Structure 1
Amino acid sequence: MKEVLQEEIRNFVTASPDNRFAGSDHPYFEEPLVGFAAADDPLFSDFKHIIGEFHLTPGEVLHEACGCSVEEARTVICWILPIAEATRKSNRKAQKVPSREWSMTRSHGEHFNTLLRIHLSNLIRSIGAKAVAPLVAGLWRPVKDPRVGMASTWSERHVAYVAGLGTFSLNDGFITEKGIAHRCGSLVTDLVIPASPRTCVDPWNNCLYHRDGSCGLCIRRCPVGAISLQGHDKEKCQAYVYGELRETAGQLYGVMETGCGLCQTKVPCETRVP
């Protein structure tokens, strides 16, 4: 089943016309990475202390959506959708606002990611198993926590970490073997699938700054100074991305969700683990 699901995700990304810019054959995303996490991995419980009690475990996701016991959750399926090379190249030139291609990927590409969540969930349900994608099932919500700041009830990045797909970074991104410029997705199922190994020595190992104190180029790339050697100012970043950019790039490109991504392009971790 593991190989079947991996191939299904890859085929959907490769073949779906929804993974294409309007009027073009150019994709939003390149070949995905896929990982699997055991639903009872202790890290999911640890997140209630690291992130907050509000962060759901896989068992709570399945219980909330299906009414079943939390023990029925067995596996979390995760994927990384690397942003296409042409889009990344266009955003390398950006200094204040993201490129049109980047903004289209953040808006329409994320819609494709939602379609992938739905497609995979329906496939699993068609064989009689349970499947819930928290971002489709209405279980994701933003949380402003006094201790950690901006957070949510289901972090796609943290779930991907449990599945061995990468580590965190100075700018609060997630660096995979295909880099930091990507979108994440996940779902919870009662299918039993072997977990992917976590090979990194710590949760920040793929980030050059955290690994040896070098780099920090993402600091210079941020147009509003939301990244420093102390980390990522989530509120300053959010105010820019969901405030100013909606008024500028959003109106220019005709989308509400423009993203930014300057700190994810023209940096050593854009496409790889440096």
Structure 2
Amino acid sequence: MRETLCRMIMDFVQEEPGNRFPEGGAPYFTEPLIGFAAADDPLFAQYQTVIGPFHLTPSELAQREDPPWRPATVICWALPISGETRRSNRSETTYPSRAWALTRQHGEAFNAALRRQVVQFLVDAGYRAFAPQLHPAWREYPDTPVGIACSWSERHAAYAAGLGTFSLNDALITPRGIAHRLGSVVTDLAIEPSPRPWSDHRSNCLWYREGSCGACIGRCPVGALSKEGHDKAICRGYVYGAVPEAVGERYGVSSTGCGLCQTRVPCEERIPVGKKTPSP
């Protein structure tokens, strides 16, 4: 069932028209990375301390289903943003490229369609499933000790599923880099968890691994990044306020993203090589 599920996800990303730019037909995303975490992995309980008590575990979400049920697995994926789109964003210094903005809006709509597709695939196979990002219990909390946060973090789920580790700018560095969109689905189908082959939760980031790099700091046009980390409030105000106000109408989208700190950096498309090699 694991192989069948992975193939379905791969085929959907490759063949679904929603993963295509309206002109030219080039894909928003290339071949996905897929990982699995046990729904009862202690990490999900730890996230209620790391992120906040409002962050719901897979079991808490499943208990809000009608009727409640016991989850077994969290299926996670990373959708790497295409090379052409990443290249278009490298030369930008203030606002994202049009291709990046279209990927943020229409590509994320495709990601939501993928979430629904995975849920339907599992339900049709006789299992129970839901996508936390689309769950009625999903909430955003604008003022928490860690800044703006949500009741489910796709990044933290992906870390639990072995897809990557965190970076100075709070994103996830996967074997295919930091420029991607993430998704997840919770199910009662039992699938063996993926290994987490990292020495710690930040080992793929050169800054945390050896105190070098910090390229993302210089890429941020509003100073939301520093050696101390990521100022979510400044970042969000720019990404959801100033940027769409400046280029949203011209690009024909309401959500633009930014992505400057995810392009023209050593971790854009790979785990960066430094003086110290991450484990493994």
Q: Which amino acid letter does the alignment assign opposite residue 124 of structure 2?
A: S
Aligned partner of 2:123 among 102, 107, 125: 125
8 Å CA contact 1:65–1:137 kept in 2: the answer is: no
Shift of 1:142: 1.2
SS of aligned partner of 2:79: strand
Q: Which residue of 2 aligns with 1:271?
A: 269
Shift of 1:66: 3.4
Aligned partner of 1:259 among 257, 260, 263: 257
8 Å CA contact 1:224–1:236 kept in 2: the answer is: yes
What pairs up with 1:160-199 in 2 under 5 angstroms? 160-199=158-197
Distance between the aligned counterparts of 2:33 and 2:66, measured in 1? 28
Distance between the aligned counterparts of 1:65 and 1:12, measured in 2? 27
SS of aligned partner of 1:34: strand
Answering whether residue 209 of structure 2 is matched by residue 211 of structure 1, we say: yes
Answering whether residue 152 of structure 2 is matched by residue 159 of structure 1, we say: no
Identity of matched residues, %: 55
TM-score by length of 2: 0.95
Shift of 1:62: 1.5
Q: Where in structure 2 are there 5+ consecutive unaligned residues?
A: 273-280
Q: Which residue of 2 aligns with 1:220?
A: 218
SS of aligned partner of 2:235: helix
Q: Which residue of 1 aligns with 2:232?
A: 234
Distance between the aligned counterparts of 1:122 and 1:146, measured in 2? 34
Q: Which residue of 2 aligns with 1:97?
A: 95
Q: Where in structure 1 are there 5+ consecutive unaligned residues?
A: none
8 Å CA contact 1:36–1:193 kept in 2: the answer is: yes
Answering whether residue 16 of structure 2 is matched by residue 19 of structure 1, we say: no
- With 145-154 and 60-69 compared, the bigger mean Cα shift is at 60-69
- C-alpha offsets along residues 161-201 of structure 1, whole Å, 9 cap, x if unaligned? 00000000001111000000000000100000000000101
Answering whether residue 58 of structure 2 is matched by residue 58 of structure 1, we say: yes
Distance between the aligned counterparts of 2:198 and 2:86, measured in 1? 26
- C-alpha offsets along residues 21-64 of structure 1, whole Å, 9 cap, x if unaligned? 00322000000000000000000000011101100101112122
What pairs up with 1:141-156 in 2 under 5 angstroms? 141-156=139-154
Q: Which residue of 2 aligns with 1:41?
A: 41
- C-alpha offsets along residues 215-240 of structure 1, whole Å, 9 cap, x if unaligned? 00000000100000000000000000
- C-alpha offsets along residues 81-109 of structure 1, whole Å, 9 cap, x if unaligned? 00000000000011100000000000000
TM-score by length of 1: 0.97
Number of residue equivalences: 272
Answering whether residue 10 of structure 2 is matched by residue 10 of structure 1, we say: yes
Shift of 1:113: 0.2
Shift of 1:141: 1.9
Distance between the aligned counterparts of 1:81 and 1:267, measured in 2? 18
Aligned-pair Cα RMSD in Å: 0.9
Distance between the aligned counterparts of 1:134 and 1:146, measured in 2? 20
Q: Which amino acid letter does the alignment assign opposite residue 229 of structure 1?
A: K
